């Protein structure tokens, strides 16, 4: 099951977390009270040139020194602190959420087209792959992931989510199937620019993971959203595909549809399936992904999971259920349910 | 020269229930090995000639014939088995290499049978192939690893990456290379028609392309083996793809051997060799003495055919298989067929057939893994062959990393073959592995092609159902998806090599 929710303001007008909290809890029927998470863009304006690394420490006193040392090898820690939290009676805290505001030293990735992101990618892979009691859960500029094992309201209150203001929010209400106690398990998953929430379970995890790992990504959490985030990062940042083509590569049209396309389009779609056959995702899923410039939603090509889109003024909503959108925006102007194979792409005004 | 070994115990004993027998003589007519003969109005039996081809049983209208294997016991012994003793008698008498037909008879565990496929239950729903598309369409050939796309000012997208030719298959099952010579023209015709009907391809083997197969040439993969039999530019141009045969699973490291008895006038013309002469292809290609020679051969074949056809290479699965495949992936070859140690053959030295090579399951898994590791997976498609027996084997081979499979023996069995293993004798009673006109005429290409097409169709349906149950709706999503396999009673070392988890994990 799981319930997902995303909202974006096209003119970067800020929304605090209270509305998202309400929207997500409207879908509690889709969750099991064992995981919820939020991600927001635009929350750290005072550190907007730094990569904000949200890290879960098993024990801060034991694990933090190693992470500090690794970060200092690759750049400068401008500031770090415990993420402010407020104990909740229903939440069993088993880690310490911490945040670093970090500036990577671009000269350490010579020749790269995006040296800072390459360093961040390597750092996240390195820290998350090693058994060091530390897990980086988000690593982008001006963005942060807040997640834990519990009901959405408890998780939101634990992180005091209403204190944050962002122009894009994604949220996830988890129906746990494995490791309900792990705080790192629920979505959103984030790697620098990109964040992903998923409702579903891909049947191609093994094929997708083997494909993405051959490009140096390391899937350490075993979650779908991790592999999806890396795939989007590879296709968009490394392979230079526009997001619409990247989505098309991940959830391509059927051959029958391709056969009916005009020649040039047919060739393009065939080439996408040829090149990205191992990246194609199967099985039921609805994915909402965001980076600082956009929010996108797409489903598996059979559309086995729901995706409802709402619009109201400058705001674009994508959610598992209409009720969630109405919980945040009672006066929503339009509600649509795009068919299978029709992605929703919303961009922030330049 | 005489020996003191005398006659061996009977391998098979044929008996006739004389009460049932109506002396119609169909057994006498049908047996091409000379088991039955008339003695006045009575049918006599010479069981020593029997190969267990079942032709007599099949055509006996009264079910009067019975066949028994090993009617005479040896003293049982765990080391000095019947087979070991008989091989020694045979070689003591002849001083020769023992020839054998069909695939390995070594009693080794079959890995496919210890791999279980996955299905969806409640956390993900199965896909119902009756109501939703499940795509088996498979493209074989080189694929780009990334695309160059230009977005023009008017918003149009233009692909500037040039795609190289691929073969399009409606199902990931192809008919493997069995040459005209090793098998009859009617058998080849039957498979060619089946390939056309089912939207797949068949291999010519190394025996050239008979003129009767020209109407099906767009469904043929023409093979170039080390003997270069039947190869000229016209032959290359007729094929949909070209395959360089560098090795064969039944006999890794040695060349092919077609006994002269099978080189009829037509075979001689198609192969471009003298009638009645043994066709012996050398172990290596004499223009490929190292990997760096392979790109030259590939390029010359492509140049000769205008760069319009994919070029495949076939190798036997041996210890350094992954290294071989990675080397080939750099040579310009578009697909690599890997032939496992259980691969079939018309004739191979028994010692090679039963003792050299590695299993196809391991070879495909390690090749796929190595190609991915080296970033070469899109450079070549992988074709698994050598003992693909049923649709589940196809699905498992693909989940281990193959793009498609070749079937050989299974197609012959669909035409009636009983896997008696006497192909090298050239008197196949089913009209398959023979060139004798009276025997060849027994195989009606229309009937046999329907049977082969039925088999491919049935397997295709089964694979569709297996994929649907696993919630997978396109074949590329099954490819290399080893998470959908589990090993049952496989040891840890092998599980690690296959990159498959144990059942329960």
| CATH number of the domain to which B71 belongs | 3.30.70.20
Query: For residues B14 and B36, what is the distance between their CA atoms, to the nearest angstrom?
Result: 10
B132: in domain = no
Inspect the interface and report whether the beta carbons of B147 and A255 lie closer than 8 Å. no
Which of A206, A256, A270 lies at the smallest CB-CB distance from B483?
A206
In a domain, B266, yes or no: yes
| B505 inside domain | no
SS3 category, A216: coil
* Sequence-distant (≥ 6) Cβ neighbours of residue A69 within 8 angstroms: none
CATH number for the domain harbouring residue B471: 3.20.20.70
Nearest to A210 by CA among B328, B244, B482, B106: B482
What pLDDT does B347 receive?
84
The pLDDT confidence band at residue B155, using thresholds 50, 70 and 90, is confident
Q: Which of A239, A256, A271 sits opposite B159 (nearest CB)?
A: A271
Q: Please give the Cα distance from B430 to B418 (Å, whole number).
A: 9
Q: Give the closest-approach CA distance of B335 to chain A in angstroms.
A: 14
Same domain for B315 and B206: yes
At B426, phi and psi to the nearest 5?
75, 15
> Quick one: tokens of A344?
């929703």
pLDDT at B1 over 60: no
B132–A302 CB contact, under 8 Å: yes
Determine whether A61 is exposed, middle or buried from the number of CB atoms within 10 Å of its CB (0-12, 13-18, 19+).
exposed
Q: Are A271 and B482 in contact (CB < 8 Å)?
A: no
Task: Give CA angle at A316 (A314, A318), nearest 5°.
Answer: 170
Of A122, A270, A309, A69, the C-alpha closest to B165 is A270
Contact call for residues B291 and B297 (beta carbons, < 8 A): no
Residues 6+ apart with CB under 8 A from B76: none
CA-to-CA separations, B302 to A112, A128, A309, B65, B310, in angstroms, rounded: 37, 47, 52, 55, 8
Contacts of B479 in chain A (CB under 8 A): 207, 277-278
In this structure, are B67 and B157 located in the same domain? no
Residues B167, B72, single domain; the answer is no
Domains of chain A from N-terminus onward: 3-347 (3.60.20.10)
Structural domain count, chain B: 2
Structure confidence at residue B257 (pLDDT)? 82
Per-residue pLDDT band for B123 (boundaries 50, 70, 90) equals confident
Residues B188-193 have a mean pLDDT of 98
Mean pLDDT of the region B399-404: 98
The pLDDT of residue B434:
95
Nearest residue on chain B to A302, alpha-carbon basis = B132
Name the pLDDT band for B214 (thresholds 50, 70, 90): very high
Residue-level pLDDT at B156: 85
Regarding whether B302 and B437 lie in a shared domain, the answer is yes
| CA–CA–CA angle A224, A230, A231 (5° rounding) | 85
Whether residue B481 lies inside any domain: the answer is: no
Q: CA nearest A177 in B: which residue? A: B123
With a cut of 90, say whether residue B102 has pLDDT above it: no
Kind of pairing between the strands at B220-224 and B241-245? parallel
Q: Are the C-beta atoms of A25 and A161 separated by less than 8 Å?
A: no
Report how far apart, in Å, the C-alpha atoms of A111 and of each of A121, A138, B147 are.
16, 25, 21
CB distance B325 to B382 below 8 Å: yes
CA Rg, chain A, in Å?
19
Chain A residues in contact with B470 (beta carbon < 8 A): 203
Residues of chain A that touch chain B, judged by Cβ-Cβ distance less than 8 Å: 177, 200-201, 203-207, 209-211, 214, 239-242, 245, 254-256, 264, 267-268, 270-275, 277-278, 280-284, 301-302, 304
Profile chain A (350 residues) by mean pLDDT over runs of 10 residues. Answer: 93 97 95 95 97 95 93 96 95 94 95 94 93 92 96 96 98 91 90 96 94 93 94 96 96 96 94 96 95 97 94 97 96 95 94
- Strand-pairing partners, residue A126, are none
B117 at interface of A, judged by CB pairs closer than 8 A: no
CA–CA distance, A146 with A75 (Å, rounded to integer): 24
Residues B345 and B239 in one domain: yes
Q: How many CB atoms are located within 10 Å of the residue A176 CB?
A: 18
- What is the pLDDT at residue A1? 65
Residues B425 and B276 in one domain: yes
Report whether A37 contacts A147 (CB < 8 A). yes
Q: Alpha-carbon distance A90 to A149, whole Å?
A: 10
Q: Is the peptide bond before B270 cis (omega within 30 degrees of 0)?
A: no
- What would the two tokens of residue A94 be? 């088993």
Angle at B117 between CA B111 and CA B120, to 5 degrees: 170
Range(s) of the domain holding residue B48: 12-96
On whether both B67 and B213 belong to a single domain, the answer is no
Three-state SS at A167 = coil
Is pLDDT above 70 for B324? yes
Residue B123 maps to a domain: no
Question: Are residues B184 and B68 part of one domain?
Answer: no
Which H, E and C letters describe A58-100, residue by residue? CCHHHHHHHHHHHHHHHEEEEEEEECCCCCCCCCCCCCEEEEE
What residues of chain A lie within 8 A of the CB of B137, using their CB?
Answer: 255
Q: What is the pTM of this model?
A: 0.95
Q: B435 in a domain, yes or no?
A: yes
Of A201, A241, A256, the CB nearest to B124: A201
Q: Do B372 and A277 touch (CB under 8 A)?
A: no
B288 and B226 together in one domain: yes
Q: Is B373 on the interface with A (CB under 8 A)?
A: yes
Rounded to whole angstroms, how far apart are CA atoms A268 and A279?
Answer: 16
In angstroms, the CA B337 to CA B244 distance is 10
Residues B212 and B69 in one domain: no
User: Could you confirm whether A61 is annotated as catalytic?
Assistant: no
- The residues, any chain, with a CB within 8 Å of residue A64's CB and separated by 6 or more, are A57, A98, A134
d(CA A249, CA B143): 14
Task: Determine phi and psi for B363, rounding to 5 degrees.
Answer: -65, -40
Placement of tokens 């092998």 in the chain: B494
Q: Which residues of A touch B151 (CB under 8 A)?
A: 242
Look at residue B261 in the predicted model and tell me its pLDDT.
86
Distance CA B140, CA B406 (A): 12
CB within 8 Å: B123 and A203: no
| Residue B454 C-alpha, separation from nearest chain A C-alpha, in angstroms | 24
Closest CA to A124 of A197, A196, A183, A74: A74
Do the domain assignments include residue B485?
A: no
Whether B450 maps to a domain, the answer reads yes
- Reported ipTM: 0.93
- Cα–Cα distance, B180 to B162 (Å, whole number): 36
Give A294 to chain B, closest Cα distance, Å.
19
Residue of A256, A266, A283 to mutate for B, most B C-beta atoms under 10 A: A283
Asked if the Cβ–Cβ distance from B476 to A277 is below 8 Å, we say: yes
Q: With an 8 Å Cβ cutoff, are A277 and B144 in contact?
A: no
Residues B362 and B432 in one domain: yes
Task: For residue A301, list chain B residues with Cβ-Cβ distance below 8 A.
Answer: 473
Rounded CA-CA distance B373/B371 in Å is 5
Residues B73 and B180 in one domain: no
Question: At which of B81, B96, B111 does a domain end?
Answer: B96
């Amino acid at each position: 099951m799981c319930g997902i929710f995303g909202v974006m303001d096209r003119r970067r007008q800020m929304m605090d977390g209270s509305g998202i909290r309400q929207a997500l809890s409207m879908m509690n029927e889709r969750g099991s009270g064992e995981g919820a998470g939020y991600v927001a863009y635009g929350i750290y304006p005072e550190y907007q040139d730094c990569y904000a690394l949200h890290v879960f420490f098993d024990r801060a006193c034991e694990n933090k020194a190693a992470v500090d040392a690794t970060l200092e090898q690759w750049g400068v820690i401008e500031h770090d602190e415990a993420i402010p939290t407020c104990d909740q009676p229903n939440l069993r805290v088993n880690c310490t959420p911490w945040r670093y505001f970090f500036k990577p030293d671009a000269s350490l990735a010579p020749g790269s087209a995006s040296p800072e992101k390459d360093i961040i990618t390597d750092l996240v892979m390195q820290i998350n792959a090693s058994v060091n009691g530390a897990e980086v859960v988000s690593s982008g500029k001006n963005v942060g992931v807040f997640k834990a094992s519990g009901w959405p309201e408890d998780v939101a209150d634990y992180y005091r989510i209403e204190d944050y203001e962002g122009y894009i929010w994604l949220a996830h209400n988890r129906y746990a199937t494995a490791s309900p106690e792990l705080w790192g398990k629920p979505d959103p998953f984030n790697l620098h620019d990109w964040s992903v929430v998923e409702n579903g379970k891909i049947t191609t995890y093994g094929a997708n993971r083997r494909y993405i790992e051959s490009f140096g990504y390391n899937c350490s959490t075993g979650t779908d959203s991790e592999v999806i985030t890396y795939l989007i990062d590879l296709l968009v940042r490394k392979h230079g595909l526009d997001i619409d083509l990247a989505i098309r590569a991940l959830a391509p049209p059927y051959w029958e549809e391709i056969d009916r396309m005009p020649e040039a389009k047919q060739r393009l779609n065939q080439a996408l399936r040829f090149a990205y056959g191992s990246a194609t995702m199967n099985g039921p899923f609805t994915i909402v992904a965001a980076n600082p410039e956009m929010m996108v939603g797409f489903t598996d090509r059979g559309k086995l999971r729901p995706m409802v889109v709402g619009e109201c003024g400058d705001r674009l909503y994508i959610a598992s259920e209409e009720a969630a959108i109405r919980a945040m925006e009672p006066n929503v102007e339009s509600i649509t349910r795009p068919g299978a194979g029709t992605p929703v792409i919303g961009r922030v005004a330049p | 020269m005489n020996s003191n070994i005398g006659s061996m115990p009977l391998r098979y004993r044929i008996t006739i229930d004389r009460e049932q027998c109506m002396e119609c003589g169909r057994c006498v007519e049908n047996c091409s090995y000379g088991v039955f003969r008339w003695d006045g109005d009575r049918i006599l039996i010479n069981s020593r000639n029997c190969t267990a081809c079942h032709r007599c049983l099949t055509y006996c209208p009264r079910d009067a014939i019975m066949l028994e294997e090993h009617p005479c016991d040896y003293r049982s012994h765990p080391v000095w088995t019947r087979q070991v003793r008989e091989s020694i008698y045979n070689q003591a008498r002849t001083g020769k290499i023992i020839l054998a037909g069909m695939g390995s008879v070594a009693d080794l565990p079959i890995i496919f049978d210890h791999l279980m496929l996955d299905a969806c239950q409640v956390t993900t729903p199965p896909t119902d192939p009756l109501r939703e598309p499940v795509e088996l369409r498979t493209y074989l050939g080189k694929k780009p690893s990334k695309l160059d796309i230009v977005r023009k000012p008017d918003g149009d997208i233009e692909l500037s990456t040039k795609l190289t030719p691929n073969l399009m298959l409606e199902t990931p099952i192809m008919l493997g290379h069995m040459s005209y010579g090793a098998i009859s023209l009617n058998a080849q015709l039957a498979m060619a028609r089946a390939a056309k009907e089912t939207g797949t391809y068949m291999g010519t083997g190394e025996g050239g392309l008979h003129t009767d197969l020209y109407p099906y040439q767009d469904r043929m993969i023409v093979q170039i083996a080390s003997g270069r039999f039947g190869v000229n530019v016209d032959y290359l141009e007729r094929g949909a793809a070209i395959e360089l045969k560098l090795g064969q699973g039944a006999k890794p490291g040695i060349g092919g051997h077609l006994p002269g008895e099978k080189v009829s006038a037509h075979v001689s013309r198609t192969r471009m060799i003298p009638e009645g002469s043994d066709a012996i292809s050398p172990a290596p290609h004499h223009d490929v003495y190292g990997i760096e020679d392979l790109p030259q051969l590939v390029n010359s074949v492509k140049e000769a055919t205008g760069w319009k056809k994919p070029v495949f290479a076939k190798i036997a699965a041996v210890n350094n298989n992954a290294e071989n495949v990675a080397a080939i992936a750099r040579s310009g070859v578009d697909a690599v067929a890997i032939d496992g140690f259980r691969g079939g053959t018309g004739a191979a030295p028994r010692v090679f057939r039963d003792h050299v090579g590695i299993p196809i399951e391991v070879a495909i898994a390690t090749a796929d893994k190595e190609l991915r590791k080296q970033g070469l997976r899109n450079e070549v498609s992988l074709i698994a062959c050598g003992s693909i027996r049923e649709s589940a084997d196809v699905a498992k081979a693909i989940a281990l990393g193959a793009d498609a499979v070749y079937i050989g023996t299974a197609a012959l069995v669909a035409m009636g073959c009983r896997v008696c293993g006497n192909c090298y004798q050239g008197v196949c009673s089913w009209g398959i592995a023979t060139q004798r006109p009276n025997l060849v005429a027994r195989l009606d290409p229309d009937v046999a092609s329907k049977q082969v097409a039925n088999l491919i169709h049935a397997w295709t349906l089964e694979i569709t159902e297996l994929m649907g149950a696993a919630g997978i709706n396109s074949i590329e999503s099954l490819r290399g998806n080893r998470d959908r396999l589990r090993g049952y009673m496989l040891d840890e070392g092998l599980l690690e090599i296959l990159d498959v988890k144990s059942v329960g994990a």
